[in-house]
């Protein structure tokens, strides 16, 4: 069976994502927000009471893989008289709604045109966006929120709501519950992405879904919505509006935006690049940060900062393939992740003195693969250490064994399950335990010799010499995390 993907997005960012995904054999369902009210969509909405077509049209267009003339025809926009500025795609969606009803219109039209997957609205109920600003005032309507000039209106958005209750489309609910991966973004935070969470039952369904949740971070802020936002601020906005679960993976660009474009965007729009400012804040909302080259070189040459659909699709596929073909981290706790040279000797009262090694959290967030914590000692004590350090959620599995011998057996069992020792990274401080065991199994081994750690002074024998030795987690990231 093909991997089952659901995209939640809007605008040009959603189109770019879907165009990248259709290059691969995937079962794709694109769920669009339906609260826009500007341009051709707004005119048709007001005149016919139709469901807003803009994002549905983009989703269908992005999924078309056949005759390119269909794409050209679907995007054709009339230039004069009573059809001025209306796209044929919007008119076709209006006709589909009148013929087959709101529930079936987008999906039926997408199928007729040969779209690779399904296209659904998040809701078929009519409602409008209302933004509550930081001074308590409100702005109604997607176009009014989206296009205000912050040079003259410096108010910031504090919360979003709908003018009338909208309920999740039944098929959208089913798709989210059956998905293996749910991808949010890229797109305007408060007028494309957060509105999906405002629909009754949508946030609850995403929270309950067994799917892995991926968020594609925006490249630039949008001053009318997200002035000076970092990635952490975007994630906090999702949490504020009902997304209670952690994001499994955040996909962000590691390639540099040309400085001249940063200057141009600031001078024209007051827009700035979106970056992760605080690893601890980021870790409160997400489990991992997957970085990759994502910026479109062609668009940059034209003075536009935009994701490349091909690069974005490849990044998503890398994440999907990691579950089957990717790397596996098996890492120790004491004197590796945690600075425990205090040697607690079973004294639970001193657990509060434990700290993560510097940059250990950044390493866990950036490691691209499955993560397993394998620790030796008293299970109750080790569990209390893990809880105090707040790292449990970053691991796919945690195993605590009583003796080094049991650790050897557990590691051997795990490598057997993976099926390829070369894809397993064994990281720890003891050359006579995890490093030695990993070497026997032919895993990649890295010794962490933190300054002051209990075993940092031990000189390994020839059969205990790991593939690499590091003294800090910055060096470990440089070694195990692709740049």
> Can you list the positions of beta strands (E) in 276-430?
289-292, 327-331, 338-339, 355-356, 369-376, 397-401, 424-428
Residue 16 DSSP SS3: helix
Distance CA 344, CA 226 (A): 46
The predicted structure's pLDDT at residue 272: 94
Residue 252 β-bridge partners: 291
Whether 4-27+124-325 shares its CATH topology with 327-473 is answered yes
Q: Is 396 within 8 Å of 409 (Cβ atoms)?
A: no
The residue to which tokens 């800090």 are assigned:
472
Read off the pTM.
Answer: 0.87
Domain boundaries, the chain: 4-27+124-325, 34-121, 327-473
Question: What tokens were used for 299?
Answer: 């668009």
The predicted structure's pLDDT at residue 298: 94
Distance CA 163, CA 146 (A): 17
First vs last C-alpha separation in the chain:
32
Q: Is 23 within 8 Å of 62 (Cβ atoms)?
A: no
Distance CA 14, CA 23 (A): 15
The predicted structure's pLDDT at residue 124: 95
- pLDDT lower than 70: segments of the chain: 85, 323-324, 340-347, 483
The predicted structure's pLDDT at residue 351: 85
**Architecture in CATH of 4-27+124-325:** 3-Layer(aba) Sandwich (3.40)
φ, ψ of residue 213 to 5 degrees: the values are: -110, 120
* Helix or strand (DSSP H, E) at 469: strand 468-470
The predicted structure's pLDDT at residue 323: 67
Distance CA 358, CA 375 (A): 19
The predicted structure's pLDDT at residue 260: 95
- CATH number for region 327-473: 3.40.50.1000
Give me the helix-helix angle, 88-100 and 39-48, nearest 10°: 30
Q: What is the pLDDT of residues 435-445, one digit of tens each?
A: 999 999 999 99
Angle at 374 between CA 372 and CA 380, to 5 degrees: 120
Q: What is the pLDDT of residues 50-66, one digit of tens each?
A: 788 889 989 999 998 77
């Amino acid at each position: 069976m093909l991997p089952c993907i659901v995209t939640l997005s809007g605008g040009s960012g959603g189109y770019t994502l879907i165009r990248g995904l259709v290059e691969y054999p995937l079962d794709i369902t694109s769920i669009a927000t339906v609260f826009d009210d500007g341009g051709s969509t707004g005119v048709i909405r007001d005149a016919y009471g139709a469901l807003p077509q803009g994002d549905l049209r983009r989703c269908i267009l992005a999924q078309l893989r056949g005759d390119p003339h269909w794409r050209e025809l679907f995007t054709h926009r009339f230039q004069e008289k009573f059809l001025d500025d209306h796209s044929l795609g919007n008119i076709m969606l209006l006709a589909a709604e009148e013929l087959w009803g709101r529930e079936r219109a987008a999906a039926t039209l997408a199928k007729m045109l040969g779209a690779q997957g399904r296209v659904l609205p998040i809701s078929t109920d009519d409602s409008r966006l209302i933004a509550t600003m930081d001074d308590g005032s409100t702005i109604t309507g997607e176009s009014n929120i989206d296009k205000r000039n912050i040079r003259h209106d410096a108010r910031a958005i504090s919360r979003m709501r709908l003018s009338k209750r909208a309920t999740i489309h039944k098929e959208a609910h089913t798709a989210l519950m059956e998905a293996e991966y749910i991808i949010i973004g890229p797109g305007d935070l408060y007028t494309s992405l957060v509105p999906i969470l405002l629909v009754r039952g949508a946030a609850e369904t995403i929270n309950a879904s067994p799917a892995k949740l991926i968020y594609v971070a925006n490249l630039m802020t949008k001053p009318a919505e997200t002035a000076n936002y970092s990635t952490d601020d975007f994630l906090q906005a999702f949490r504020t509006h009902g997304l209670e679960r952690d994001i499994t993976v955040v996909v962000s660009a590691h390639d540099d935006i040309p400085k001249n474009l940063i200057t141009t965007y600031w001078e024209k729009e007051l827009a700035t690049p979106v970056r992760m400012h605080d690893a601890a804040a980021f870790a409160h909302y997400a489990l991992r940060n997957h970085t990759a080259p994502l910026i479109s070189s062609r668009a940059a040459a034209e003075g536009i900062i935009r994701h490349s659909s091909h690069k974005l699709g490849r990044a998503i596929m890398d994440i999907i393939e990691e579950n089957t073909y990717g790397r596996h981290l098996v890492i120790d706790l004491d004197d590796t992740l945690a600075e425990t040279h205090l040697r607690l000797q079973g004294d639970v009262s001193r657990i509060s003195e434990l700290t993560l090694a510097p940059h250990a959290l950044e390493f866990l967030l950036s490691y691209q693969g499955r993560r397993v914590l394998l620790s030796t000692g008293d299970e109750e004590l080790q569990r209390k250490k893990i809880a105090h350090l707040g790292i449990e959620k970053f691991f796919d599995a945690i195993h605590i064994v009583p003796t080094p011998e049991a650790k050897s057996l557990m590691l051997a069992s795990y490598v057997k399950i993976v099926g390829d020792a070369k894809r397993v990274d064994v990281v720890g401080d003891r050359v006579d335990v995890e490093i030695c065991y990993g070497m026997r199994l032919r895993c990649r081994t890295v010794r962490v010799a933190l300054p002051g750690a209990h075993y940092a002074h031990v000189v390994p024998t020839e059969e205990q010499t790991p593939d690499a030795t590091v003294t800090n987690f910055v060096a470990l990231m440089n070694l195990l995390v692709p740049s």
